[in-house]
Amino acid sequence: MMIPAAINLGIELRVLAETAEESASLAVTALGSHLDMEDVVRFARDVDVVTFDHEHVPQRILRELVDSGVAVRPGPHALLYAQDKLLMRERLSELGLPVPDWARVETEEQIDRFLEDHGGRAVLKTASGGYDGKGVRVVASGAEASDWIALGNPLLIEELVDFHRELAQVIARRPSGDLASWPVVESVQRNGVCTEVIAPAPLSSGKIADVAESIARTVAESLDVSGVLAVELFETTDERLLVNELAMRPHNTGHWTIDGATTSQFEQHLRAVLDLPLGATSPREPWSVMVNILGGPQSGSLADRYPAVFADQPSVKVHNYGKDPRPGRKVGHVTAVGTDLDQVAFEARAAALHFQD
Amino acid sequence: MMIPAAINLGIELRVLAETAEESASLAVTALGSHLDMEDVVRFARDVDVVTFDHEHVPQRILRELVDSGVAVRPGPHALLYAQDKLLMRERLSELGLPVPDWARVETEEQIDRFLEDHGGRAVLKTASGGYDGKGVRVVASGAEASDWIALGNPLLIEELVDFHRELAQVIARRPSGDLASWPVVESVQRNGVCTEVIAPAPLSSGKIADVAESIARTVAESLDVSGVLAVELFETTDERLLVNELAMRPHNTGHWTIDGATTSQFEQHLRAVLDLPLGATSPREPWSVMVNILGGPQSGSLADRYPAVFADQPSVKVHNYGKDPRPGRKVGHVTAVGTDLDQVAFEARAAALHFQD
């Protein structure tokens, strides 16, 4: 999704990919692994800026790039907090930002102790490597975590937050300091996976939006983030916001901006990492609803459904990632925009359903 | 500009280009000439549909493709009228569509005769090969056309229309018949080159818009056009519309749709030539203004101006075609959208100026 934004601005995008078949193959692709020092260093030699569409490039490789003079944005000093949830929790707590109760645990006993103080159930997370519900489980005893404990890495345990819904604040920051944020959105989740985003989040009060933006601004500035930052938030039943996760890249909760905002998160990320002035983040219409296409159709391809989708929903924008359908996999998304939220949500959901029959 | 639309829909676009350096090189590119039968036939072998971003593929090549079973859209029987202005004038006259007074001329005497009946000055055009003011000149005597007459091809001569301004109606049609049109636009020209498009055209009456759409619909249906059709129109000082030119492809007067309409002309062209249901053509905002970047900066590249443009006009969308600057060459465009036409036009013109200093 970065490629169209790069084409419009005439920016040459080069992608380090493990296979030529990966869906980014429309950009100039260098083959290699993001886990391999040599591959990454060779790739970085000919570009102006290195940036990311995931957080999994090891710190030692990132630091090697920085040491050799490559512009890495966001830098490893910031990306660290999107890579390691324990460090993230520590740092956000130091900054006084609202987070769930949490602890670092390494033994079953420590987990049991945390559970005693937090109602007998809690969320256990691996510090790194998790996404879309992976690396996260709810536990009621330390014994249930014996497999993760056995791996020997410290784990993050958190209170089960009594939340009303999940929100996300996406913001961009350029190295020289300017920030620009889109409206806070509601992120509807099922089994730990985002299924739908409503932009802006239908809010009981404007205060929530101000608090969300202020949290994201503090994170972006305090951690010296460059590029797009997504702050996933819990809105508690008593109307507080707690930071759930951070992502330092264009994020699923910002996909609506492609069709729904003056500047998309992908164009903004390019502007930000190139240290160019940021674009306007105003919504194009009062409401945007983005629905993920999860798994795809039982048989055939997404494109097989175009006749039905296009005839039924001529205003909906379809984004097909060109990935093979697989249960639960995000293979595309659809976005509808307009003035009436019910109508917009109906259109987007109806279109997405056609792709998942 | 077709590539981002193709990426979004997961449609694989292959481009036949003469050199790898052409700006379409982000798509899968086959090297070859559109004038070479073998190159085109080889290219067409592996695609579902062949379409065009210019009108210059010879009829004999197009007909060979059709005869060998390739889906060519628009087909040669339609494209003919975008390739040959004499045939176009004949056909539109037969259809009873409003056109300037015209004649086919092959001698200086025939030109002089036409001039006698039309106030002593007229527009002379080569039947094929012209664009952006090339192949067009105003003459006051047959002698002035001796060089073109000497080439031995019949020429088109037309009355100098007393027009108030130029409009353009862009419409799309799929082979199975459905049509969808965007609002008629005003196309501001300088020296035969479109410099700016205002969408929709600020109209004295809704009747003009209806007539423009009806003309485009008649052309699309009568000529059996597939894909996007642009009908360039003169609005005369007495408020009549006359057809000036036809283009059967996404057209400069439709570039505003990328940022200003629910479905861009590029996405629509893909839908149409694949015979998929057409997308909604509603404007995203009341006004869009597209300004061409002609020639580019005196020195340096368009991207060198991004810091100034982006800081000055954060809402303007920039399209950089990645072409080397050259006097008069269209190297990009900018689009602004919004509710106030004066403001929108100011933003777009201000951004374009930065690129042409």
Instruction: State how far the alpha carbon of B259 is from the alpha carbons of A60, A109, B167, B319, in Å.
Output: 42, 58, 20, 10
| Fold (CATH) for B2-82 | Rossmann fold (3.40.50)
Does A277 touch chain B if contact means CB atoms closer than 8 Å?
yes
How far is it, in rounded angstroms, from Cα B93 to Cα B102? 10
The answer to whether A319 touches A326, Cβ cutoff 8 Å, is no
The answer to whether A321 touches A279, Cβ cutoff 8 Å, is no
Task: Say whether A317 and B7 touch across the interface (CB within 8 A).
Answer: no
Contacts of B322 in chain A (CB under 8 A): 10
Contacts of A277 in chain B (CB under 8 A): 306-307, 310-311, 314
Q: Work out the pLDDT band at B24, boundaries 50, 70, 90.
A: low
What are the residues whose beta carbons fall under 8 Å from the beta carbon of B185, sequence distance 6 or more?
Answer: B167, B168, B169, B170, B197, B198, B199, B200, B201, B253, B254, B256
How far is it, in rounded angstroms, from Cα B110 to Cα A354? 62
pLDDT at B214: 98
Mapping DSSP onto H, E and C, the string for chain B reads CHHHHHHHCCCCCEEEECCCCCHHHHCEEEECCCCCHHHHHHHHCCCCCECCCCCCCCHHHHHHHHHCCCCECCCHHHHHHHHCHHHHHHHHHHCCCCCCCEEEECCHHHHHHHHHHCCCCEEEEECCCCCCCCCEEEECCHHHHHHHHHCCCCEEEEECCCEEEEEEEEEEECCCCCEEECCCEEEEEECCEEEEEEECCCCCCHHHHHHHHHHHHHHHHHCCCCEEEEEEEEEECCCCEEEEEEECCCCHHHCCHHHHECCCHHHHHHHHHCCCCCCCCCECCCEEEEEEEECCCCCCCHHHHHHHHHHHCCCCEEEECCCCCCCCCEEEEEEEEECCHHHHHHHHHHHHHHHCC
| Fold (CATH) for A163-354 | D-amino Acid Aminotransferase; Chain A, domain 1 (3.30.470)
Does A284 touch chain B if contact means CB atoms closer than 8 Å?
yes
Task: Say whether B26 and A9 touch across the interface (CB within 8 A).
Answer: no
Question: What is the CB neighbour count within 10 angstroms for residue B121?
Answer: 12
Q: Work out the pLDDT band at B326, boundaries 50, 70, 90.
A: confident
CATH architecture assigned to B163-355: 2-Layer Sandwich (3.30)
Helices and strands in chain A, H and E counts: 12, 15
What are the residues whose beta carbons fall under 8 Å from the beta carbon of A63, sequence distance 6 or more?
Answer: A76
> Which amino acid is residue B108, in one-letter code?
E
Interstrand relation of A287-294 and A102-105 (parallel, antiparallel or unpaired): unpaired
pTM score: 0.94
> Which amino acid is residue A281, in one-letter code?
T
The answer to whether A192 touches A141, Cβ cutoff 8 Å, is no
The answer to whether A108 touches A145, Cβ cutoff 8 Å, is yes
The answer to whether B226 touches B74, Cβ cutoff 8 Å, is yes
Domain ranges of chain B: 2-82, 101-159, 163-355
| pLDDT tens digits, one per residue of B203-248 | 877 899 999 999 999 999 999 999 999 999 999 998 899 999 999 9
pLDDT at A25: 58
Residue B308, min C-alpha distance to chain A (Å): 8
Nearest-by-Cβ selection for A276 from B26, B285, B310 = B310
Task: Say whether A9 and B282 touch across the interface (CB within 8 A).
Answer: no
> Which amino acid is residue A134, in one-letter code?
K
How far is it, in rounded angstroms, from Cα A204 to Cα A195? 22
> Which amino acid is residue B165, in one-letter code?
R
Does A85 touch chain B if contact means CB atoms closer than 8 Å?
no
pLDDT at A23: 55
Task: Say whether B263 and A302 touch across the interface (CB within 8 A).
Answer: no
Q: Tokens 């009747």: give the residue.
A: B207
pLDDT at B21: 67
Nearest-by-Cβ selection for B10 from A7, A277, A322 = A322
| A310 SS3 class | helix
pLDDT at A298: 83
DSSP summary character for residue A340? -
Residue A319, min C-alpha distance to chain B (Å): 5
pLDDT tens over chain A, length 357 residues: 999 999 999 999 999 988 876 655 567 778 899 999 999 999 999 899 999 999 999 999 999 999 999 999 999 999 999 999 999 999 999 999 999 999 999 999 999 999 999 999 999 999 987 666 678 999 999 999 999 999 999 999 999 999 999 999 999 999 998 999 999 999 999 887 899 999 999 987 789 999 999 999 999 999 999 999 999 999 999 889 999 999 999 999 999 999 999 999 999 999 999 999 999 999 999 999 999 999 888 888 999 999 999 999 999 999 999 888 888 899 999 999 999 999 999 999 999 999 987
Between B116 and B238, whose confidence is greater? B116
Does A263 touch chain B if contact means CB atoms closer than 8 Å?
yes
DSSP secondary structure string for all residues of A198-262: EES---S-HHHHHHHHHHHHHHHHHTT--EEEEEEEEEETTS-EEEEEEESS--GGGTTHHHHBS
Contacts of A7 in chain B (CB under 8 A): 3-4, 26
The answer to whether B171 touches B222, Cβ cutoff 8 Å, is no
| Fold (CATH) for B101-159 | Dna Ligase; domain 1 (3.30.1490)
pLDDT at B26: 66
pLDDT at A36: 92
Does B255 touch chain A if contact means CB atoms closer than 8 Å?
no
How far is it, in rounded angstroms, from Cα A82 to Cα A100? 17
| A313 SS3 class | coil
| pLDDT tens digits, one per residue of B240-268 | 999 999 999 999 999 999 999 999 999 99
Task: Say whether A279 and B315 touch across the interface (CB within 8 A).
Answer: yes
Per-residue pLDDT for B23 more than 60?
A: no
| Fold (CATH) for A2-72 | Rossmann fold (3.40.50)
Selected residue of A2, A3, A8 to mutate for chain B interface (largest B Cβ count, 10 A) = A8
How far is it, in rounded angstroms, from Cα A175 to Cα A173? 7
Question: For B59-72, what is the mean pLDDT?
Answer: 96
Per-residue pLDDT for B176 more than 70?
A: yes
CA gyration radius for chain B? 20
> Which amino acid is residue B213, in one-letter code?
E
Task: Say whether A4 and B9 touch across the interface (CB within 8 A).
Answer: no
Interstrand relation of A287-294 and A330-338 (parallel, antiparallel or unpaired): antiparallel
Does A179 touch chain B if contact means CB atoms closer than 8 Å?
no
Instruction: State how far the alpha carbon of A260 is from the alpha carbons of A13, A22, A202, A344, B165, in Å.
Output: 24, 27, 16, 12, 33
Task: Say whether B280 and A314 touch across the interface (CB within 8 A).
Answer: yes
Helix (H) or strand (E) segment spanning residue A267:
helix A265-273
Opening angle at CA B277, ends B276 and B279, nearest 5? 120
| A162 SS3 class | coil
Contacts of B280 in chain A (CB under 8 A): 314-315
Mapping DSSP onto H, E and C, the string for A82-148 reads HHCHHHHHHHHHHCCCCCCCEEEECCHHHHHHHHHHCCCCEEEEECCCCCCCCCEEEECCHHHHHHH
Q: What is the ipTM of this complex?
A: 0.92
Interstrand relation of B28-31 and B14-17 (parallel, antiparallel or unpaired): parallel
Q: Residue window 328-357, chain A: list those with CB within 8 Å of chain B.
A: 332, 337
Lowest mean pLDDT among B25-29, B227-231, B282-286, B287-291: B25-29
How far is it, in rounded angstroms, from Cα A304 to Cα A316? 17
Task: Say whether B8 and A315 touch across the interface (CB within 8 A).
Answer: no
